Amino acid sequence: MKRLFGFVLALLLFFGCDVNGTGETTTGSSKDTQINNLEFTIDSTYVQGSPAALVAQGKVKNKGTTTISSPWYVEAAFFTDSTLTTKLGGNNAQILVALSPNQQTFWKVQFSSSNVNVLSYSNFKVSEIRGIYKN
């Protein structure tokens, strides 16, 4: 009985995580709580060679009237080009600082995939950036 319980618990933990069947992060989940009144800027995007990844980084500012408590996440989707019609995937990065109104901090999100050779997409674009609390 203990073995069965342990097995069921392990399955629940594995499949209950915010990871899809490929081991990559799921983005755009309605289970997460979106943080409103954030203003994102993208300062740079580049392709990292080793390990292969697409990288976007910038700043986020709290334009609201309440403090955003830590931890929270910046989530972004990565597209093949500026048409934003072919989505490669997405990822998120944990932010470990609270943001009071009008404060800003830096963020950096990386995307890599076992399904896509990201080195082939040097003209990639980032969109659908949002701040979330994980539920």
- Domain 24-133 fold is Immunoglobulin-like (2.60.40)
Number of CB atoms found within 10 A of residue 75's CB? 23
Percent of the chain with pLDDT over 70: 81
Q: pLDDT confidence of 28, banded at 50, 70, 90?
A: confident
Q: Is the pLDDT of residue 24 over 90?
A: no
pLDDT at 1: 52
The C-alpha atoms of residue 74 and residue 39 are separated, in whole angstroms, by 11
Does residue 88 contact residue 121 with C-beta atoms inside 8 Å?
Answer: yes
- Give the residue extent of every domain in the chain: 24-133
The C-alpha atoms of residue 111 and residue 113 are separated, in whole angstroms, by 7
Q: Is the pLDDT of residue 8 over 80?
A: no
Contacts with 101 (C-beta within 8 Å, 6 or more apart), sequence order? 62, 63, 64, 65, 66, 67
pLDDT at 2: 53
pLDDT at 26: 59
The C-alpha atoms of residue 100 and residue 30 are separated, in whole angstroms, by 25
Amino acid sitting at position 6: G
Q: Which residue has the higher pLDDT, 57 or 29?
A: 57
* Residue-wise DSSP of 97-113: S-B-TT-EEEEEEEE--
> E strand or H helix at 6, and its extent?
helix 2-16
Amino acid sitting at position 7: F
pLDDT at 14: 37
Contacts 24+ apart (CB under 8 A), 43-47: 45/124, 45/125, 45/126, 47/118, 47/119, 47/121, 47/122, 47/124
